[in-house]
Amino acid sequence: MSRAFHIGGESAEHVAVEVVAREHPDQSDYWDGNWLTAWIDLASGPFRGKYRAALRAEEFVHFRDQLQTLFESGRAQTEPFFDSHNVLYFVLELDQSFLPDVLAELKGVIQEFPVVGSPHDKAAQSR
């Protein structure tokens, strides 16, 4: 089963993420078991694109937490969690009215594809 969240308009500027499966469904450790296969659909200005991505389950939890902070306080800040990767920068001009729906959709993604294991598990320490 897949789960998705959508930020922005349906036909206007938006980013949509559909998580379709675990990359390694037979793995239950933190390092291998949390890779997820997703489709990213993006529209920003004249740019439109859709691509397959490998994302991590804990990244969705982190993103949800940041959006929850934004919803509650009107402010949020986060730092990138990646190094030396290709990056596409884009801007979506939105108001906060979209946050409750996105938070609910992210809850569904996290419930369907929860974080497994811990970075402190015994198997992880042997790496």
Mean local confidence (pLDDT), 30-49 = 95
**How many Cα neighbours within 13 Å face the side chain of 120?**
0
Q: How far apart are the first and last CA of the chain?
A: 31
Domain ranges of the chain: 3-118
pLDDT at residue 123, rounded to an integer: 55
- What tens digit of pLDDT does each residue of 66-111 get? 899 989 988 766 666 666 677 777 788 888 888 999 999 999 999 9
Phi/psi of residue 101, each to 5°? -65, -45
